[in-house]
Amino acid sequence: MAPSLREEGITTTALDVADELGVQLVRLMRMVHKGRSMAAKQGPDGIERSAYSILLCLIHDGPQRTSKLADALHAEISTISRQSGSLVQHGLVERLADPEDGRACLLAPTREGLRVFEENRKLRNKWLATVMADWPEEDRRTLNHLLDRLNSDIQENTPQMADQNKGL
């Protein structure tokens, strides 16, 4: 496979900067993981913290089958089934008939699921605002802009992600 136009112009300096970015991204992921680990494995409502990623996908991307959620979250279907079952039991997610295939069902957030999601979102936002309380507003806005740009470029330059997101 021939290198893309973007790959042809990569300099040693660009590779050094990319290496430092890689180090900082790994550090960021460790901090996020450590923060989650320090919080209880179960939220105050008895839901596994990792199950909230299912709720996030359903709220942002709409009702979905378990298999599509597993693909989106890079998880096993059995894991998604167990976690979504817990979300259903707690009234945060409901099962709906799939209009395209009556034998299958779609998972969708309930009104209570939306409320719990927003409550958790507010807590996350307060925590992040506290973390960056001493940052100038321009730095906070620049960080958001650059992270959005990085995420978009990663999405566009990862073949499987680019294929999944065509037409969005």
The domains located in the chain, with CATH, are 15-131 (1.10.10.10)
Listed residue (106, 19, 108) closest to 58, CA to CA: 108
Task: Give me the mean pLDDT over the 123-148 stretch.
Answer: 94
Instruction: Tell me how crowded residue 73 is: count the other CB atoms within 10 A of its CB.
Output: 16
How wide is the angle at C-alpha 34 spanned by C-alphas 93 and 80, nearest 5°? Answer: 25
pLDDT of 38: 61
66-85, pLDDT tens digit by residue? Answer: 999 999 888 999 999 999 99
- Tell me what the mean pLDDT of segment 115-143 comes to: 92
- Round to whole Å and give the CA distance between 32 and 130: 15
Q: Is the pTM of this model over 0.75?
A: no
Q: Give residue 31's pLDDT.
A: 87
Are 52 and 117 spatial neighbours (Cβ–Cβ below 8 Å)?
Answer: yes
Handedness of CA 146, 56, 70, 63 (dihedral sign): negative
Residue 104 has pLDDT above 70, yes or no: yes
CA 109/CA 94 separation, integer angstroms: 6
What is the average pLDDT value for the chain, to the nearest integer?
Answer: 85
